[in-house]
Every structure is written in structure tokens, then in C-alpha cells.
């Protein structure tokens, strides 16, 4: 079985693309420090990504319980 699971209809890809777009836009900047608002926006998107990923792990655990237990053991062993 691969490490790829469906996104269960959650906006994970869109959130990651939004984060990437914000970071790339900041990388191209030439002026001054990054504003607190931009940092807060990226942080909020990152928190949303982490939350969605946690939900996906839970949904995958319900769908693929044996694989999930095996994967947890692998993670804990490293």
C-alpha cells in the first residue's frame, strides 16, 4: 500500500497552494521586513493545513485501520 490517501473532499491541496503562493510572493519582495499581517496570514493557513491533515489521518485510520496501526508503529520506531 502506498503512503497516498485521498483527501476526503477536504481543501488540503488548495490550502497548500495558497500558502505556497503567499511564500513565493514574499520571496520576490525587495522592500523592508514582512508585515505582521502577512506572517499571521501564513501562520493561519499553516494551522488550517495541520488541522486538515489531522482530520485526514483520523479518517484514514477509520478506513484503513490495519495500515494505520502499522504506520504508527513505524513512526514511533524512528
Q: How distant, in Å, are the alpha carbons of 7, 31, 49, 50 from that of 11?
A: 8, 32, 9, 12
What is residue 6's predicted lDDT score, i.e. its pLDDT? 59
Q: Are 27 and 8 in contact (CB under 8 A)?
A: no
What is residue 10's predicted lDDT score, i.e. its pLDDT? 77
What is residue 76's predicted lDDT score, i.e. its pLDDT? 65
Tell me the whole-structure pTM to 2 decimals: 0.68
Q: Are 6 and 50 in contact (CB under 8 A)?
A: no
What is residue 2's predicted lDDT score, i.e. its pLDDT? 42
What is residue 1's predicted lDDT score, i.e. its pLDDT? 38
- Taking the chain (78 residues) in runs of 10, the rounded mean pLDDT of each run is 56 92 89 90 95 84 66 63
Amino acid at each position: 500500500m502506498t503512503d497516498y490517501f485521498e483527501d476526503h473532499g477536504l481543501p488540503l491541496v488548495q490550502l497548500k497552494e495558497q500558502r505556497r503562493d503567499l511564500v513565493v510572493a514574499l520571496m520576490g519582495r525587495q522592500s523592508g521586513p514582512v508585515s505582521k499581517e502577512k506572517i499571521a496570514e501564513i501562520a493561519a493557513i499553516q494551522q488550517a493545513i495541520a488541522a486538515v491533515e489531522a482530520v485526514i489521518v483520523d479518517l484514514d485510520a477509520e478506513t484503513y485501520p490495519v495500515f494505520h496501526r502499522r504506520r504508527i508503529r513505524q513512526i514511533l520506531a524512528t
